[in-house]
Structures are given as structure tokens and as C-alpha cells.
Structure 1
């Protein structure tokens, strides 16, 4: 067979294994390039393409300049919906998106737990609670895999911070792992049959995850019954023999660093058994079969799939994840006759996603101002920015010419010329195959014509060396004393800044000379360049926003963070809104009694102004329809359907990961110690009497619900479990969503329980969307394990005999009813 032939009939995996040479088997265990596996043409084994990420299928292009791809709500927004059906819909639609990019495996979902609230990837994860995370992940995975695209649940395991993420050891006791951090992976295996797992960069209790035999072999394959592949995070393989012997199958990206010739040498030296190679190859071939790869000659060309039904789904999901935190005097929804001052740094720009590998090139972006004008009319919406909230200078937009040269010195004629619309370049692959990724240079040429005179700030960050010139004069030196900073996953320098005076209407020429970096010692080499420029802002801009707010019926402040703060590669410094946003909110609220705050963040923030505004809506990053989704909720066209998937503390020191000892967070000397144990999020606040700003599961709406009496079908817990039903009626005048939550609290129990247990733990929930006057029933089922803790010494789940309270709640701080169930004899189950 040649590479154009495919295996139309059923694949005989064992026969293929017999036909593959050892060298060919080893070649399959590392990527061919950044996104694809190695093909074996003589046996019609095609290359299989994978793609980021959780909120859209990006394909093989740069982070924000590749083939356009639909941008869905981020994971925390989906987590806030508490809607498993929506997670399935999103997964199913993302399967079609992935196939449009020629990909058969999607690198998602991300199920790491919201431990600190400051994790740079908090937005990319569902929740602080393992049950909520598990339910959404299972549905998302089924949506993908029912439609032929493999899911890659990540990052296994305890990869809950971005600080020193490639070397840090997450030191976690086994009980905490079993009860908090492993359940989403267990559920993905047992309930969804997930096909791929991505190992984290971190070490777990001192051992790199790709070599962690206990976690990979004993727990995942042995106890949970996992039969899929383990894939490294990009450049996250750390050894040859120990990684393969731990059961790790695929090193990404390619070409191989620890596999290939080094692995063949390890086999010859007797460090790796050929049967271990065969087992890994078998798992890879099974994955290829599951995703239908043998039915094609390899990855298809990338296309953009901008479907109307996808737009509608993204818009609906955005509203479903919106959490109404405050609505004094029922200010929301707004009357359609009001005049609106749309203020703040997120009003005129679409903050649709977080940063890092989750980024994609959306086909379009709807800003909040655009959404409000479409909903209320152009003449009813006015706009002022007021202040900034970006971490880096605003990226330069326009017609940018990139001239690529062979070698690092920009010598000779350009080998290739390309254009970009934004000077934010991340070169996974170069635009011409003849260019050498390790030996090239680029001259970027653009013009900039300011609309206003004044002081402007320019900023540049580069992975590689670069110098920026404005009208021939050196503006920023990104070459001298270059050092690693926090940008581009920690491979670029910190942004270097320059302030300059510019005149309105004058056109300035910008030239940036860039050369590729030398290959890093650890093999992780990134080639990237970002340049931004913006007019500096101060008190006059806040004063302008305040004047506008005083003239309108309602002031809506669009504040929060953006993808440069909530991003892979670094954690947040604190829970404070960046820039002068708090001052802007306070000043606006002082002149307009009808002030609404629309928050866009990837996690909790402190709200010192909460008592001074009437309404607050948490909107996260809801995808490309962000402006329309926000307008739908503010206008009442859609109900805010969300509940907090993470506790919002009053202050950073109230967080469960906070400690006076830096070893607990952010870590010290290469270790971060999970001293809080199982007391994460609401478990911490409940058990240690720390009042939150807003409790886990909290969310208001535009209607009222009447709860009937909760009834349990039995008062004795058996292996069949207990089902609690609660009749719910929408007794208000608007559509709405109620989320009924069931927590378990251990009461009378065996006296010799050796561990501290949380005050209560979420064990079931039901989401009901009801129209006015409509009734429904929340059905909440639990089984004996829902009463249990993990006994490390006995290696069993243990539920002592005794009484357990079943707490029927609207959120972790609002217990509506209390039932009891008795466990007559001790229950246990082996790990």
C-alpha cells in the first residue's frame, strides 16, 4: 500500500503490530511535528492531527492568526451553567469544528481544580468542585467522541498553577488526590470512556507526571480501567526509559527528543522491554482506529466552519453561564427605553477568551457596545473607555508586512513575504517550508497614524531577539540584556516600554528587526514577537466617563480582566481589578444611582464597591458572541442562568490555598504543598467559618421559584442508593433557571473516624429551566460512595455506619431543607 491508499475494511491491530518493525513502532511514539503523529505509508498508517483546545478547534495556525475557528465560552463559563446537556452540545459541535481543521483529536477538556483562584488557567477549568467538574467533563467528552473525535482530558494531575509549572512538584497527600483531584479523571474513564489523557508538566510528590508509574499504571490503568493513550503536554516529556516504562505513550510535539533513536538505544540496552513498546503502539493504533483515521490518507486541509447554528449555540451558552450576583430594586432587566452609558475598558472590545493555548482566531467578534446598540438602538447607547485594564500595551493593528529571510541577519532578498492584521506573531510553523525555524529573521514593517496628539506608550516582547525603530530611530531594544520573562509561556522577555510624543494625523513608520532564538537547552523553543502602542490614560479619561454616566439613565460598566491576565504561563498577582477600574466604578456610582457592573474575569475578584452599585453580573469569557450574549441578559431577552462554580472570597487571604507559608502557595524551592488537603473552596469556607463574598453555587435570576417539600424515596441507604425529589414551580413572571443542589453532611458516625471531614460536600444537582407558571421536579440521586471518604491506610472508600444529613440547597450558603438517611452498617469499596 502507498500513502494514498486507506484501510477501508476493519483494521486488524494485532496483524499491524506484527508487520511493524521495532523502529516503526518507536516512531509512532513521538509526533512528527507540532500537531501530527508520524505516518507509516507502507502500512497505510496515516498521520493523525490533534488540535487545541477547550473553547474552539484552532487547527495548526498561530494562536490568533490561523484559520478562523468558532470561539465558544471558556470552561468556567460552561461550569457556571451547571448544564451537562449544554456541555454535550458544545462537545458535539466542537467535533465538527475539529474535523474542519483536519484534526481527529481535540486537546480538551481541562479539568484541573480551582484551587487558588489565581491560576492563570482558572478560566480554562470548570470548577472548584470535583463532582461539578466531572459531570460537565463526562458530557463534553461524550459529545466529542460520539461524533468521532477523540477527547484528551488534561492535565493529569494536580497541575493547578502556572508558576514554575514545568518543574514544580505538587506535593499532595493521597486522600486529597482521591477525593478532590482524581475524580474528574476517574469519571472520564468510567463514565465517558475517554480516549486520551494529557499528562501535566508538573511533578507529583517529586516525580514527573510522564514517569509517574503509580498514577498512570496503578491508578488510571489498573484501578480505573483506562485503555486509552497518555500524551505529554507540549515538551512535557522528561525521560526516555522511565517515561515509557510508566506507560506513557506519545511524546508531543515532534520531532522526538526522548523517543526516536534514544528510545531504540534504551531497548537495545535492556532498559525498555520490546513488549512495552508494542503495548504503547497498540494503544496508539486503537486510538487511530477509534477516530476513523484509517479511513483517510491523512489530515485534510483546514477550512473555516462558520455555521448559523453554531453562532446561535455560542450565544445561548454565553447567557446560560452569566451569573447575576446582585440586582437591587430589580434594575435588571433594563427597560428598552432607557439611555445607557457603556463605560469601561471592556465595553468597546470583545473579551471573548483567555490567553495561551486556548486562544483561536474567531471569525468575528461582537463587542458589548455593538450588542447593546443592536438591542436598544444606536441612539440610546453612548460609550467612553474611562481607563485601561490590559497587562501589555494594546497590540498594533493594521496592514503589517512581514519579510522573512534565511539566516539571522536579514541578508539578501526576502525568502517569503506575508501580511498580518495584528503585530502579535507566534510562529508554530513558518509560512514557507524552505525556511529553517532555527535560523531565520523577519523584518516587520507597518505604519501608525494616531487620531489624537499626546503621550503614547509603546511596548514589545519577543521570544528571540528584536529591535523596534520608529521613523528610523531606535524605539525599543529587545536584544541587549535579554532575559526570560512571563510572556509567551515564559519563553519571551518581559515587555519593554517606551513613552513617546506623537501628533494626530501624522503617519509614522515602524520597523522591527527580529531574529530566531537559538535552540533552548530543554528543547522548548518558541519563536514569537508582539508589539503594541496606545495613548496613555489618566484622570481626564475617568472624568469624561463620569460626565457621560451622569447624563444617562443607566451606567453599565464593562470591567474585569482580559486574555493577557487570565492566561496560560503565569498566575495572577492578586484578586484586584487591574488598573484604575475600582476608581472608575466608584466615581460612576457616585453620579448615577442606576449603575450596573458587568464583570469579565476568569475567576473571583475583590469588590470594594459592591454596596455602591445596584447590579452585578459575572460574564466570564463567553466566546465570539460576547456582546450579543451580554445584551440578551441585560435586556431580558435571555435569563442569566448561571451559578458560581467557584467560591468568591471577600479577600485573597480568605482563599483556601492561602497561608503565611509560601510553600502552600505559590510554592517555594520547586515545591508547592497542598496543606489545605480536601478543604478546597466551599469546603474550606464552611468548615473553617470563613464567610465568602458570594458562596459556591450562588446566582440570582429575573423570576421567583417556589420549592415544594423534598422527599427521599427511602430513609435507609442501600447499594441501590437514595433519590431525593423536589417539586419546583416558576411562580414569577419571567423565564428562569433554578439549580437545586444536594450536599451531604455526616452526622452521627463511628467514633474512631481518623480524618477530618468537610462540613458538607456537593453530591448531586439538577438544573431546571422553567417558564412562568411551569412546574418541574428536581431528581437528585446519591449512592453509598457519596457518603464516603478515602481511607489511605486501608486503601478503601469508607462510609461509617450512622446518620447523614441530605442538605437540599440553592447554594452552599442557602440550605432550604434537611433530610436524613441512615447507613445501618459500615460500607466500603476498594480503590
Structure 2
């Protein structure tokens, strides 16, 4: 198996494709020749938050971009414009299935076309360098090979639907702390072997139409100005011919950006390009040829997505429609990783189940920040199990809430946003499914302009589902008047705080404003009025604020006691624990790996009351599980997307098998070998070199809770043999000797596995390479290939995997080139990094 030769759909190297590309280039050149300097400079600058300007005189329509990666939000940040919400990228990577990633991409292309979006701002292929990275749920893995494989499938799928991808964030944006200003100091070898490797795999294997350059600096140069990495590596060595767009607000220098190879500066209308770029050319500070090169890339993008007259789009007939609900459910159950099972799963027929945990009722389906989308429906674990189990078989208890912090008004609220001018007249309205207003750029209710808008009022009713003291609050900057049950409970102003991240400062910290005693089932009117006055200059107009709510705070010990009582009366207790948006989100890193609140105490108490306790971990990246040896089963559900609850019922009841394997190591923070994410004096040194993730764990000698690649199913597997074939025709056998392959040989491994369990199953066959002679400058072993097989009970199947040449190469910092490392290798096939089943020896000769 390789990740460089996948199905490219309409992007392949056929004669027709080459002819079409030549014709497209001719149209692009003709269009470019008709543009003057000012128009070209304007084209490279966002016209608003999400789009580039149209130029009708050359037949160019506006190109619209949208955040991903789990859905397509479109140009509106609102639950009133719903999107399919797939499981998180860590979940997608946990499937170890590039073809499933390709199918996910096709669905997202379908969603993008439905919303009029040409460019999806995804996938994120930065690495899990440290478990403290706050945005790791949005990236795939700690391993560059697995990341490249999943990312390649994803890009191929999206672009097969005629929608562009922008692989991000190029490069070394592996943490959030001081992300706008940090200088990441990365050795050349680590940069090539780890952080650039997924980008290279995707560029060479899927030909993405876009790349997004990151906020951070690498080795002293801002990524939006990094000529060596953009022109020398990305475009030069790898042959990338797409467009290069900045992360939002990342571009800081007009001349530095255009000379560094940045094509588009977003968002607009105020950027370092536009009039500033035209002025720089006229002043002799930049060459018009550099502007032309950027415009050429944008026009090529427009041609590919069908936005340039006279050019045949890259995809003239999109793939067949995809059932988004069914695919979201399939990906979720295929991603769930069963890391422990003492025979309790799947649940036996007729079992009485106590479902416990706030996250079982109010599921966290996705991570926070720009990855946010708003699905039309969400199936929580409570929803899924209620529908799947017989009436009376399920009881529910909150147990412990992972958060005592306010969140945007949601459950029980019916809201709308009312816009008024300075005279107080209503000039527009929009329904508001949650208490969040986030109108960026031109995204305003019909009939409303920023010039006329003076205030926005969130107004409606709230019907509590619990009696008691309800807390209300605000998020945003400026003035607020909050009313609950026709009473003003707060009237004041929120000033800007000391948040280091500009986006966090802009959104403002959540603030509790009042508590009001309410009765369950009795609706009350609520409203939050906000004068629209930005306290500082923004590159685009924006209205951002929100109404927050938190239900009655009950005594945690009392809640845990109720959960214990429910668990004691049931055959099985299923406890759902979770992180919160204050733990995993964009804009900040984590300070620890603990579950928030009293959730660890809850699990211990329930496990003591019922030996058949199953814990479902609802998080996007690793958390510590100090009670893992005290429970019967642990199932990792990641952020499972909108169908997560139904998928969970499928897996717990045995209708489907948990299909996931760990894409990153899970362990205690105290044992983690790489933990530094906070810069010192503006710099973050990647001093660990090529040793991150499992490479670093093995080097340190520490034992994680669960190793890379680990995951259990509902059947058993026996690995019978691994045979290696080189182009010499010599075949190796299981054991310590094997074929002699030359440097130009194609090395193929065939692994035979047998399903020795009682039911059909899927197995992820993983191949790891290790030097026969230990080598201090290389990891003890590394992932070289993988494949999935399916077999019935008693059936033997073969997985045939090609080992890429890169698996045997390292980067030579003296020669500045890849070097094939000949000599002896052990090739091990197994169920995880540490669960080796069969091994052969391979001699690589120069």
C-alpha cells in the first residue's frame, strides 16, 4: 500500500488531462493579459471574510471559501444554516482507512456545492507533536505517514467533486500558544521527515489545488513570507501548482508576502495586498512579474472549480450523491477505539443499562474554533441507546457535569436576532437556533447594512428542563442589557481582557451576569440587547456576541450518589466522560490531560458499585484515564459528529464492531516525552528532533497507557506469515532472514491473517520497520505501511502492502537531500506498535 498513487479521479496524468490542462493554461494566460496592475492586486486580496472579487470583464466569478474540516459551514457562522457534521479528524484517522477518508471528502464536496463554496479550508495535517496541543482534534495523528495517507484520501475525495482543498497549516503550526508570533526552531531533518512529510505526500499523491500558510514563523521567517519553503520546496521540489492562501490575518508584510510566494491575503477588504501591493510595485519594491505569478495561480484555481469562463472545469460531472447521515454514522462507528474489554462488550441481549454522564445527554460532537459547523440534528448517546434498547431497559443519571461554565444558550431556548437602526426602528431579523451571533463581513440579515445597524437584540423564550437557580451571562465586547422574565438583570459594559490570542480577545471571555430561579416546563421571556460598537479597528466589519446560560448547579456528591444508585441497580453501567470547549479548542493549548470536573471521581464510584462498567471517552485527543484498570471496558469515541449517539448504540449492542485503532499515543502527561508548547523569548525549540509521538515514547523507555495503533474488536486474529518480495524475484519468509533488495527495488509485503474468533471482523494490518542494528539517530521503529482486511470466522485473507522508498530514507542535513539507508531491517506485522505478530528480515543493498 502506498499513499502516493491513489485514485486521482479527474486529476490523473492521462493524455486527456494533459490536453485539458494545456487548454486551461491558455485561457489563464489570456485572462491575465487583460488585467491592469490595480485589478491584479485587488484579485489577490479578499473582498470580504470568505471570498475573492469577481472580474466580469474576463469572465471570472467570485471564488467563495469556507471552513472545514468536518463539514462545510459556508459564509454564515450560524446554526440557522445547517451543515452535515462528520466525526473529528482524529476520529477519521482512527479508521486507518484512506478510502473512507476519500468518501468523506466526496460528501464534503457535495455539501460545498450545495452552499456555493468553491474552496474548502481543509484538511489540517499538522502533527500531534505534544499531547498538550489544544487543536489536535482538528489534525490526524502523531505519525507523518498515517497523516499523509488519510489526508491524501480526503483531498482526492473533495477534489473529485470539483471543490478545491487547502492543505494546512504549512508548516509546523503544531500548537496554539502565541501562534501569531512564535518562532518555531526546527532542525532541517525533523522538518523534512516529520512536519513537511504529510504535505509532501498529499502534494505528490493528490495534487491539491490549494495550500494555507500558517501564522507562525519557522527558523526566523514568517510562513507567509517563507520563500525557501514555498518556492524552493513546495513549488520547486514537489511541483505544487495550486494557490497559496494565508491563514486569516496571518499576512503582515506586502513586499515580504509577495516575494515569499503568498498568492492571496485573507480576509478582506483590508489586507497587505490590494492597493498596497500595487503601490509597492510602482515604487519598485516588488516586481509585477511576482504579482502575475500569484494571479496566474488564482486564475488556475478559478478554472479548476468552474469559475472562469472559457476554461473546462477539472470535474465536469460530480460523483454520485452521498447519504450524509449514513456516512457520518459509518465513520463514527469505524473510528471508535475499544482500548479495553473484559468481556462486557458487546452488551448481552436483555441487559438493563444505566447510562451516566452529562455528555451522554448533551453530546460534544465537535471541537471549538473555526472547525465549528452546525448540524440540523444531533444524536446523543442518550438518544441512540433510547432508540435501540427495549422500553424500560435504560435509566439515565447526570452523575457529574464536566463543566460549571456558561455556554451559548441552546437547550430550551427559542431565539431570534432583531436588528435596529439609530432611531430604534427594526431593519431586519434572523432566526437564531443558539444564543450566538457571529456575523462576519457581509453576513447580515436581509436588508441590513453595517452602516445602518446600530444595535442587535437576541430575544425569545426559555423553557427550563430543570427547576432551580439558572445562570445567565454574556460573551463579547461592549455594552449589554440582559432581561430575564421581563426584568433587567444586567446593564453594563465588557472591556477587552488580557487574552494573548487576537481571536480570543476579539470574542471576549464568557461572563456570568445574573442568576434567576426558574421552574421546569414554565417558559419565560429573555433578551440581550447589544449596541454595535467595535472597540478597535478590524480588517472587516463584524458583529460578534452571545447570550450564555448554565442550568442549576447541583451538589456534585449528590449527583455522583444518584449515579451510583442507578449503576447498582443495572446489569451494566455506561459512563460517558468528556472534555469541554475550554479544554479543547482553537486559540490555546492545554495545561494538563485530566478530565474536567468530578468525572474521574464519578467513574471510580460507579466502577466500585458495578463491576460491569463501560466508560465512553468523548474527547478529540488524549486524556488521562487513572481508573482504566478498574473498569470492564474503555471505548474512545472522539468527537463523533452528528450521528455519534446512534453509532455508539450500534457498537455497544454489537450490531457493528468498533473499527478504530489509535492514531496517536495515549498516556499520562508525567510520562510524555515531549510536552513543551510555550515559547521562551518568542521561540519554541523543537529540540527533540525526529523523536515525537511513539518514536519518543520508545526512546524514553516510558510505557504509555495505550500504544500507537492499539485497538480491539469483537473477534480474534491470528497472523500466520509475512512474506516480502523484491523486484529481484527473491521471496522472504517469516523469520529472521529475507530477500536482498536493491536500492531501486519495489518491496512488497504479503501478510496472511486468519479470523479465529466467533464473528466477522475487520483487521488493520500494520507494518513497522526497524534497523537490524540499533541506530541512535533513528527511531527504534516506524510505521511503513498498513491495510485493512475483512474476514468471516475461520477465513484466512491476505493483505498486500507496498513499502514506499521513503520508508528506508532519512534526510541528510549535509547533502540537503534524501539518503537511502541500506543494510538490514526487521519488518514486523502486527496489531499495534507493541503487538508484533510476525517478523521477517530484509537486506537493503546499495
Q: What TM-score, normalized to structure 1? A: 0.92
In structure 2, the residue corresponding to 1:479 is in which secondary structure?
strand
The more displaced of 423-432 and 156-165 is 423-432
Please report how far the alpha carbon of residue 473 of structure 1 lies from its aligned counterpart in structure 2 after TM superposition. 5.7
2:138 is equivalent to residue 141 of structure 1: no
Give the drift of 1:694: 0.3
Contact 2:616–2:634 under 8 Å retained in 1: yes
**Per-residue Cα deviation, 1:393-449 (whole angstroms, up to 9, x for no partner):** 143232223222335xxx422222333122122222221454217963212233434
Contact 1:490/1:569 (8 A) holds in 2: no
Contact 1:461 1:492 in 2 (8 A): yes
Q: CA deviation at 1:498?
A: 4.5
Report the CA distance shift for 1:635/1:507 in structure 2 as closer, same or farther (over 3 A).
Answer: closer
Q: Tell me the equivalent position of 2:348.
A: 335
**How do 1:590-669 and structure 2 match up within 5 A?**
590-649=608-667, 651-658=668-675, 664-669=676-681
Q: Residue 706 of structure 1 aligns with which residue?
A: 718
Structure 1, unaligned runs of 5 or more: 1-8, 300-304, 659-663, 826-831
Closer/same/farther in 2, CA of residues 424 and 434 from structure 1, 3 Å limit: closer
Offset from partner CA, 1:504-524 (integer Å, 9 cap, x none):
256554332213343645737
Equivalent position SS for 1:294: coil
* 1:16 corresponding residue in structure 2: 31
Alignment partners' CA distance in 1, 2:543 and 2:96: 39
Name the residue aligned to 2:40.
25
Q: 1:259 to 1:703 in 2, by over 3 A?
A: same
- What is the aligned partner in structure 2 of residue 796 from structure 1? 817
Deviation at 1:479, TM superposition (A): 1.8
Deviation at residue 459 of structure 1 after TM alignment? 3.2
Aligned mates of 2:152, 2:207 — CA distance in 1:
9
Aligned residue in 2 for 1:734: 759
User: Relative to structure 1, is the Cα distance of residues 775 and 180 closer, same or farther in structure 2, using a 3 angstrom cutoff?
Assistant: same
Match of 2:109 among 70, 82, 95: 95
Cα 1:223–1:327 shift into 2, 3 Å: same
Aligned match of 2:64: 49
Paired position in structure 2 for 1:724: 749
Alignment correspondent of 1:757: 778
What corresponds to 2:88 in structure 1?
74
**Which of the numbers 511, 529, 547 marks the counterpart of 2:527?**
511
Between 543-552 and 411-420, report the one with greater CA deviation: 411-420
Specify the SS of the correspondent of 2:408.
Answer: coil
Q: 1:681 to 1:815 in 2, by over 3 A?
A: same
Shift of 1:296: 10
In the alignment, the residues of structure 1 paired with residue 473 and residue 685 of structure 2 have an alpha-carbon distance, to the nearest angstrom, of 36
CA shift in 2, pair 1:189/1:112, >3 Å? same
Contact 1:425 1:528 in 2 (8 A): yes
1:287 corresponds, among 301, 320, 330, to 301
What is the distance in 2 between the residues matched to 1:307 and 1:545? 44
Deviation at 1:28, TM superposition (A): 1.1
> Relative to structure 1, is the Cα distance of residues 308 and 757 closer, same or farther in structure 2, using a 3 angstrom cutoff?
closer
| Residue pairs, 1:223-238, within 5 angstroms | 223-238=237-252
Q: How far 1:452 moved relative to its partner? A: 4.1
Q: Secondary structure at the match of 1:379?
A: coil
Count of residue correspondences: 796
Q: Deviations over 1:630-675 (max 9, x none)?
A: 00000111111100000001x21222322xxxxx322233222212
Call closer, same or farther: CA 1:620–1:487 in 2, change over 3 Å. Answer: farther
Partner residue in 1 for 2:278: 264
State the distance in 2 between where 1:599 and 1:490 align. Answer: 31
Does 2:801 correspond to 1:780? yes
Question: Structure 1 residue 488: deviation in Å?
Answer: 5.9
Q: Does 1:380 align with 2:401?
A: no
Please tell me whether the aligned partners of residues 476 and 497 of structure 1 are also in contact (alpha carbons under 8 angstroms).
no
Distance 2:356 2:330 in 1: 24
2:232 matched residue in structure 1: 218
Aligned 8 A contact 1:717 1:784 in 2:
no
Who is 1:688 aligned against?
A: 700
Question: Please, which of 106, 122, 137 is the counterpart of residue 120 of structure 2?
Answer: 106
Contact 2:477 2:535 (8 Å CA) reproduced: no
Query: 3-state DSSP class of the match of 1:699?
Result: coil
CA RMSD across the alignment: 2.4
User: Per-residue displacement from partner, 1:103-133 (whole Å, max 9, x unpaired)?
Assistant: 1211111101011122222111111000000
Which residue in 2 is equivalent to 1:317? 331
User: Separation in 2 of the partners of 1:65 and 1:783?
Assistant: 44
CA deviations 1:536-587 (Å, max 9, x no partner) are 1322222111111111111101111244532212222210001111111111
Corresponding residue for residue 9 of structure 2: none
Contact 2:112 2:120 (C-alpha < 8 Å) held by counterparts: yes
What CA distance in whole angstroms lies between the structure 2 residues aligned with 1:521 and 1:633? 51
- Superposed, which structure 2 residues align to 1:514-529 within 5 Å? 514-518=530-534, 520-521=536-537, 523=539, 527-529=543-545
Q: Do 1:405 and 1:441's aligned partners in 2 also have CA atoms closer than 8 Å?
A: yes
- Aligned counterpart, 1:676: 688
Aligned match of 2:828: 807
Report the TM-score, using the length of structure 2 for normalisation: 0.90
Residue 212 of structure 2: which of 198, 214, 238 is its match?
Answer: 198
